[in-house]
Structure 1
């Protein structure tokens, strides 16, 4: 199973709103993520910094392509623009994948 990690920044004073929106995640977005083969999706924060991690049952490429084709993901990204700063990879349209430097199984 491939793993994917990303990072982003929450805008100043918006962490509570960021958490609230994720506590109320849209069911249709969950459906897209599951269809993309995404499991064990977790997001952490320290201050205004975010770190996200998920596992891709069908591979990172499939997960990226599924999300890129989804109008629901586009709508969610637009919805989140006022609370976070996301730098997107111009090739994939997703947050740039962090490079793994250590793994202990």
Structure 2
């Protein structure tokens, strides 16, 4: 199982709205994530910084490709752009990969 981590920024004054939207994530968005092989998806924040982590049962490349081709993900990203700033990798259409520097199994 591959792991994936990403980071982003919540726009000033939008953290509570960001949390609200994730507490009410669309069922179709959850389904896309599951179909992409994503599990154990967690997002943390400190101030306006976000850190996300998930595991990819079918591999990171598959998860990236599946999400990049999903109109639901496109719709979700459009919905979220007023509350957060997240750069997307133009090659994968997903969040840029963070590089792992330590792992304790």
Q: What band does the TM-score fall into relative to the shorter chain?
A: over 0.9
Counterparts of 2:63 and 2:94, CA distance in 1: 10
**Partner of residue 84, structure 1:** 84
Cα offset, 1:94, TM superposition: 1.0
Cα offset, 1:99, TM superposition: 0.1
**Partner of residue 5, structure 1:** 5
Gaps spanning 5+ residues in structure 1: where?
Answer: none
**Partner of residue 26, structure 1:** 26
Gaps spanning 5+ residues in structure 2: where?
Answer: none
The alignment covers a number of residue pairs equal to: 105
The yes-or-no answer on 1:56 pairing with 2:74 is no
Cα offset, 1:15, TM superposition: 0.2
Counterparts of 1:88 and 1:58, CA distance in 2: 21
Counterparts of 1:101 and 1:94, CA distance in 2: 21
Cα offset, 1:21, TM superposition: 0.1
Give 4+ residue runs of structure 1 displaced > 4 Å after superposition.
none
Instruction: Compute the TM-score of the two structures, normalised by the length of structure 1.
Output: 0.99
**Secondary structure class of the residue paired with 1:75:** helix
**Secondary structure class of the residue paired with 1:44:** strand
**Partner of residue 73, structure 1:** 73
**Secondary structure class of the residue paired with 2:92:** coil
Alignment RMSD (CA, Å):
0.3
